Homo-oligomer: A and B are copies of this chain.
Amino acid sequence: MLRTLPKPDATMLRRLAMFQGLDEAALRDVLGAGQVRALAEGSTIFIQGDPGTTCHLLLSGRVKIQQTGADGRQSVIRFIGPEEMYGTLAMFLKGGYPGDAVAVTDGVEIVWSAQAMRALMHRHPQIAQNALAMLGDRLQDLQSRVGELSTQRVESRLAHAILRLVEQAGRPRDGRVVIDFPLTRRDLAEMTGTTLHTVSRTLSAWEGRGIVEGGHRRKLVVLDVPALKAVVEEER
């Protein structure tokens, strides 16, 4: 598993927000500083609280970031898809990684040591600028979620969460949208701040109305995206 895999083309990095505005040579420099490795489904990549010593770029597969609160309650912070970075800010945080990272499917990623990334940022200040902009976006996103959590009701929040997943990981397939990685009711509950019971009930109701189709685990099919959007908009 720790065997080094062949590296992808440096031009791939150009698509990433993190490496915007870098020239060819810089991209090769960036790529050269990282290690490619495989991720096995279910394996833990880093653990909440550990000092942030790595930066990750997922090439394929899917990774779940989850947090355990002081009271032991879990919450799912986000899902990472191909060509997304994660664990990047931990190197700047006193508390280390803010959550656990677990591979929910097999996958491949590039890893940089925090040291290497710091050196890269030093050699190419544009990266730090980009990181700042990305963090800003994340912050904004989180802030909107705070607003959402406190004002919307469960149904809206769930609809919103699923729409995010559709946006990020949805695979259109003759009119429907398929989210085909292991996504439990518990995950959805922890993403929306509710219980798996309520998620199950709501999803059942939607299934009855032809909005979604819940395969039993590891698959969620959205039949009617507009209907979900309607649920989000729904005034109380």
Contacts and interface: CB of A to CB of B under 8 A. Distances in A.
Given A75-B147, A149-B193, A235-B71, A136 B136 contact: no
State how many copies of this chain the complex holds. Answer: 2
A145 interface: yes
A92 B142 contact: no
A21 to B, nearest CB: 14
A95 B135 contact: no
Interface residues of A, number: 39
A69 interface: yes
Contacts of A149: 146, 149-150, 193
A115 interface: no
Contacts of A67: 143, 147
A231 interface: no
Contacts of A69: 144, 147-148, 151
Given A128-B125, A128-B128, A147-B67, A140 B73 contact: no
Contact of A139 (B129, B135, B144, B192): B135
Nearest to A194: B150
A101 B199 CA distance: 37
A61 interface: no
Nearest to A95: B140
Minimum-distance CB pairs A-B, first 3:
A150-B193, A92-B136, A135-B135
19 contacts: A69-B151, A71-B151, A71-B235, A77-B143, A89-B136, A92-B132, A92-B136, A93-B137, A93-B140, A125-B128, A128-B128, A131-B132, A132-B132, A135-B135, A135-B136, A135-B139, A142-B143, A146-B146, A149-B150
